[in-house]
Amino acid sequence: MRIRRALLFMPGDDRRKIEKGAGLGADSIIMDLEDGVALTNKAAARQSILTALHEVNFGRSERLVRLNPAASELEADDLHITLPGRPDGYVLPKVEAAWQVQEVSARIEDAEREHGWPAGAIRLLALIETAKGVVNIREISESDHRLDALIFGAEDLAGDIGATRTPEGREVFYARSAVVIHAKAHGLQAIDTVHIGLNDLDGLAAQTREALHMGYTGKLAIHPRQVEIIHQIFTPSPEETQQAMRLIRAHEEHQAAGSGAFELDGRMVDMPLVRAAETVLARARAAGLDV
Ligand code: COA
Ligand code: MG
């Protein structure tokens, strides 16, 4: 699965931002058709995305399109018009049931067959951002072979359940945990919600670190200045990588000598810590570091 640390949103009808976003080196670019685009501009945004998919050089960034929700009467045209541009995947908002993922997947399958594209190459990422989405997260996680990631959406969820957003985020913590647990139970990536404070870079860093510590693998971004901070936090530092390699080496030596648990730098090391070190190395490798 490809690495997705920062996923940068921009309105699909804003060619300038698409071009700007394409040049930033973000792991993923999400051209939006949903809430970032006014109802009167949906048709123009579909065309703008299709043209950008054909014309803009996105470098190594993944090219994603966010559709409108299932049963909005917009999503069929969203798909139909953008699919010929062959994006790398689609982000589905407000997913509440397995069929919503499966229906999009089936339409993509038709397009893949029609164009002779490799089957299953276009991927799906599902936003969990409503009460029903949280309640049905298990069936959503198991819904389709194209599904790569669950994305947590705190702002929409708060609106849906009548919660008030606070800096601590306790009002959405259950859902934020549920998303990462279910993602990991099903071998999916877990991507954290947007930080809407555009100028609050310390707050962004703190929220991103918290997500990392919870097991999240990436985070949504809405402004270019957020991308580098998110990339950096989801990339292990050289010190972390060194320490992880040291721990794994020590573990192998102790295993060979017949002991399961041992002491390193005043801490007990056994399998959970070894697995944590392996996770650090996997993150480093995914980020393209040579470990
Ligand atoms: N993607 C790409 N480029 C972006 C960008 C984004 N999300 N947000 C801002 N930029 C660009 C601007 O175009 C500007 O470039 P320019 O000076 O070369 O024209 C530069 O970065 C600085 O932008 P700034 O003036 O700070 O922001 P803004 O007032 O133009 O835009 C927002 C502010 C919030 C409207 C904008 O960041 C945005 O559209 N974010 C994404 C919104 C979205 O997609 N929401 C739906 C998902 S939650
Ligand atoms: Mg939303």
Which pLDDT belongs to residue 290? 85
Tell me how many domains the chain contains.
Answer: 2
Q: Are residues 130 and 271 in the same domain?
A: no
Q: Are residues 226 and 259 in the same domain?
A: no
Ligand nearest to the CA of 17: 1
Asked if residue 1 is part of any domain, the answer here is no
Q: Are residues 189 and 64 in the same domain?
A: yes
Query: From first to last of its 291 residues, what are the pLDDT tens digits of the chain?
Result: 899 999 999 999 999 999 999 999 999 999 999 999 999 999 999 999 999 999 999 999 999 999 999 999 999 999 999 999 999 999 999 999 999 999 999 999 999 999 999 999 999 999 999 999 999 999 999 999 999 999 999 999 999 999 999 999 999 999 999 999 999 999 999 999 999 999 999 999 999 999 999 999 999 999 999 999 999 999 999 999 999 999 999 999 999 999 889 999 999 999 999 999 999 998 898 888 888
The rounded Å distance from CA 146 to ligand 2 centre is: 22
Measured CA to CA, the distance from residue 255 to residue 260 in angstroms comes to: 6
Nearest to 152 by CA among 123, 124, 183, 110: 183
Q: At what angle do helices 238-256 and 271-286 cross, to 10 degrees?
A: 140
Measured CA to CA, the distance from residue 82 to residue 123 in angstroms comes to: 14
Q: Are residues 35 and 117 in the same domain?
A: yes
Ligand 1: atom nearest CA of 194 is 48
* Ligand 1 contact via 137 beta carbon (within 6 Å): no
* Ligand 1 contact via 194 beta carbon (within 6 Å): yes
Q: Are residues 221 and 248 in the same domain?
A: no
Q: Please, which contacts does 240-243 make with residues 24 or more away whose CB atoms are closer than 8 Å?
A: 240/280, 240/284, 241/280, 241/281, 241/284, 241/289, 241/291, 243/277, 243/280
Whether the CB-CB separation of 124 and 146 falls below 8 Å is answered with yes
Q: Is 29 helix (H, G, I), strand (E, B) or coil?
A: strand
Domain extent at residue 219: 6-233
Cα torsion at 232, 150, 57, 41 (round to 10°)?
-120
Closest-CA residue, ligand 1 atom 5, reads 223
Whether the CB-CB separation of 171 and 180 falls below 8 Å is answered with no
Q: Are residues 120 and 11 in the same domain?
A: yes
Q: Which residues pair with 91 in a beta bridge?
A: 66, 125
Q: Are residues 134 and 272 in the same domain?
A: no
The rounded Å distance from CA 58 to ligand 2 centre is: 24
Which pLDDT belongs to residue 287? 87
Which pLDDT belongs to residue 286? 84
Maximum distance among all alpha carbons in the chain?
Answer: 70
Measured CA to CA, the distance from residue 259 to residue 244 in angstroms comes to: 19
DSSP code per residue over 86-112: --SEEEE-S--SHHHHHHHHHHHHHHH
Q: Are residues 87 and 130 in the same domain?
A: yes
Residues marked as catalytic: 270
Measured CA to CA, the distance from residue 102 to residue 97 in angstroms comes to: 9
Q: Are residues 208 and 81 in the same domain?
A: yes
Measured CA to CA, the distance from residue 21 to residue 103 in angstroms comes to: 29
Domain boundary, last residue among 218, 233, 248 = 233
Contacting residues for 201 by C-beta, under 8 A, at least 6 apart: 225, 226, 229
Q: Are residues 226 and 256 in the same domain?
A: no
Which pLDDT belongs to residue 1? 87
Asked if residue 268 is part of any domain, the answer here is yes
Q: CATH number of the domain that 177 lies in? A: 3.20.20.60
Q: How many CA atoms lie within 13 A of 197 on its CB side?
A: 13
